[in-house]
Amino acid sequence: GAVVSQHPSRVICKSGTSVKIECRSLDFQATTMFWYRQFPKQSLMLMATSNEGSKATYEQGVEKDKFLINHASLTLSTLTVTSAHPEDSSFYICSARSSDLNEKLFFGSGTQLSVL
C-alpha cells in the first residue's frame, strides 16, 4: 500500500521556539495533503488542506500565522508551528491523497509535540 512518512515522531521544545514537521509521500504523488491535530482520547480535527503549489486552506479557528504550511512539491508538505506555546502541545498527523488511488487518504505515523 501507499506509504506516507512523517518526521519527527516526537519533539520536545521550549516555549517560543518554532518546530517544523515534514510529511512525505514515498511511492505516489500527493496532489493534496491534509494536516490534522488530535488531543488525547479525541478524534482527528482537520487543521488545513494544502494543494501542491498553492496556498493552504485553513479550517475555521486555525491561525494561519501560527501554523505555516508549505506544499512545495507533489511529495512533500511541511507544517511549522511558530512561536510554540504549551497549549500547542498535541499529536499532529498528516495525510496525503492521490487521485490515482481511488481518493483514499493515507496517513503518516504522527508527531507528538510537547512544548515546555
Partner 1 sequence: EDQVTQSPEALRLQEGESSSLNCSYTVSGLRGLFWYRQDPGKGPEFLFTLYSAGEEKEKERLKATLTKKESFLHITAPKPEDSATYLCALFSGGYNKLIFGAGTRLAVHP
Indicate which single residue of 44, 68, 74, 76 sits in contact with partner 1 (rule: CB under 8 A).
44
> Does residue 73 sit in helix, strand or coil?
strand
46 binds partner 1 (CB under 8 A): yes
Handedness of CA 116, 10, 46, 62 (dihedral sign): positive
What Cα–Cα distance (Å) separates residue 61 from each residue in 32, 45, 112?
21, 11, 21
Q: Which stretch binds partner 1 (CB under 8 A): 1-9, 12-20, 68-76, 79-87?
A: 1-9
62 binds partner 1 (CB under 8 A): no
The pattern of x and - marking residues 8 through 37 that bind partner 1 according to CB under 8 A reads --------------------------x---
Which of these, 95, 60, 63, lies nearest to 82 by C-alpha position?
63
Question: Distance between CA atoms of 74 and 96, rounded to whole angstroms?
Answer: 10
**Torsion angles phi and psi, residue 43, rounded to 5:** -85, 180
Nearer to partner 1, 4 or 19 (CB): 4
- Residues near partner 1 (CB under 8 A) are 1, 4, 6, 34, 41-44, 46, 49, 91, 93, 95, 97, 102-110, 112
